[in-house]
């Protein structure tokens, strides 16, 4: 059946943000200033414009219509067949969405390339959750993975993220997508960790290729994902494993080790399930019921931490 809507799609259940109703700002054509190796869309020459920009009122009318007939999703996600911050009316759109969103939160998925543009920043600040990508912190690897438009410097993006964090009151999520043999080397990840610590997001999602990519590149296995995640000590790290990503070695921790480990890092329930043996999981539940571990919610995902 053809959808009655032009700009909204879903809702889809996202493991990272809950039930998500999507808004596509560029439904006709991919419009992105990157051409990432791992992109789920077709490869395309990078551009800094969205052709035939939609009218914000038409989008908001669709959202209103959807919400009048359905239960509120956890998030209303602004995305594009490409990069949503290229949309010149983002500020007007978010103001209008915030008026109709009800109990849903507004979320935007951006590659962060425009983070130093004052107008974009003003608009981003009005979202409840902002998710920015950071696949490399050095220019050489950045150009290899994300294939940006000429002139885009990763150093500027990182500095922009650091200052955006200081002025943004909402939930900032950073996503690192790891591509085998491209940005999975220890030195590359160490630089990302260093930048991530300076940015200080509320949460960091580590993932790999999960759907057919634009170019011939490959995912890393689940064990590697967890090893990389463990380098981001001190941040709330969420690992998005792949179904066919292979088994992860189960770890055993005794009570004191659990408390110490959970002080330095928060784990999601899913990561606990994947990482620890049965005995450790039972001890974690026990510590939770005793109040020695606590749960915190960041952008609709629950983490467990030491008190």
Nearer residue to ligand SF4 within complex by CB, 36 or 229: 36
Beta carbon of residue 127, minimum distance to ligand SF4 (angstroms, whole number): 17
Q: How far is the CB of 275 from ligand SF4 (least distance, A)?
A: 28
Least separation in angstroms between residue 141's CB and ligand SF4 is 14
64: left (phi over 0), alpha (psi -120 to 50) or beta: alpha
Least Å distance, CB 236 to ligand SF4, is 23
Shortest distance in whole angstroms from residue 147 CB to ligand SF4: 8
Closer residue to ligand SF4, CB minimum distance, 138 or 210: 210
CA distance 80 to 40: 12
Question: From the CB of 32, what's the least distance to ligand SF4, in Å?
Answer: 3
Q: DSSP characters for 129-183?
A: EEEEE-S-SSHHHHHHHH-PPTT--HHHHHHHHHHHHHH--SEEEEEEEEBTTTS
Residues that bind ligand SF4 (CB under 6 A): 32, 34-36, 39, 41, 82-83, 111
- Calculate helix-pair angle for 186-199, 154-167, nearest 10 degrees: 30
**Closer to ligand SF4 by Cβ: residue 39 or 123:** 39
- Give the span between the Cα atoms of 28 and 30, in whole angstroms: 7
Task: Considering the complex, state which of residue 106 and residue 114 has its C-beta at the smaller distance from ligand SF4.
Answer: 114
Q: Burial level of 30, CB count in 10 A (0-12/13-18/19+)? A: buried
Q: Are 160 and 115 in contact (CB under 8 A)?
A: yes
Of residues 22 and 82, the one with the C-beta less far from ligand SF4: 82
Nearer to ligand SF4, 34 or 226 (CB): 34
- Least CB distance to ligand SF4 at residue 296 (A): 29
Nearest of 52, 4, 60 to residue 29 by alpha carbon: 52
Among residues 134, 124, 213, the alpha carbon closest in space to that of 168 is found at 124
Of the two residues 39 and 229, which places its CB atom closer to ligand SF4 in the complex?
A: 39
Query: Residue 193: which residues within 8 A CB-CB, separation 6 or more?
Result: 231, 232
Structure letter (DSSP) for residue 293: E
């Amino acid at each position: 059946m053809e959808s009655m809507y032009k700009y909204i799609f879903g809702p889809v259940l996202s493991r990272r943000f809950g039930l998500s109703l999507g808004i596509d700002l560029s439904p006709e054509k991919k419009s992105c200033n990157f051409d990432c190796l791992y992109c789920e869309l077709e490869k395309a020459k990078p551009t800094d414009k969205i052709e035939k920009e939609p009218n914000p009122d038409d989008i908001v009318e669709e959202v209103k219509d959807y919400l009048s007939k359905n239960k509120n999703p956890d998030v209303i996600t602004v995305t594009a067949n490409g990069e949503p911050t290229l949309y010149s009316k983002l500020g007007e759109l978010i103001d209008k969405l915030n008026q109709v969103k009800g109990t849903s939160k507004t979320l935007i998925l951006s590659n962060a390339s425009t983070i130093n543009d004052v107008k974009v920043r003003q608009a981003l600040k009005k979202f409840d959750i902002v998710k920015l990508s950071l696949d490399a912190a050095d220019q050489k690897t950045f150009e290899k993975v994300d294939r940006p438009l000429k002139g885009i410097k990763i150093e500027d993006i990182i500095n922009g993220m650091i200052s955006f964090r200081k002025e943004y009151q909402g939930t900032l999520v950073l996503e690192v997508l790891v591509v085998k043999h491209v940005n999975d080397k220890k030195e590359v990840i160490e630089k990302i960790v260093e930048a991530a610590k300076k940015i200080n997001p509320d949460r960091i999602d580590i993932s790999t290729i999960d759907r057919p990519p634009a170019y011939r590149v490959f995912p890393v296995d689940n064990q590697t994902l967890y090893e990389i995640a463990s380098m981001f000590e001190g941040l709330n790290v969420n690992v998005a494993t792949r179904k066919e990503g292979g088994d992860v070695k189960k770890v055993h921790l005794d009570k004191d080790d659990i408390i110490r480990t959970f002080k330095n890092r928060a784990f999601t329930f899913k990561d606990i399930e994947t990482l620890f043996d049965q005995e450790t999981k039972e001890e974690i539940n026990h510590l939770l019921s005793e109040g020695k571990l606590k749960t915190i919610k960041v952008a609709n995902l629950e983490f467990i931490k030491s008190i």
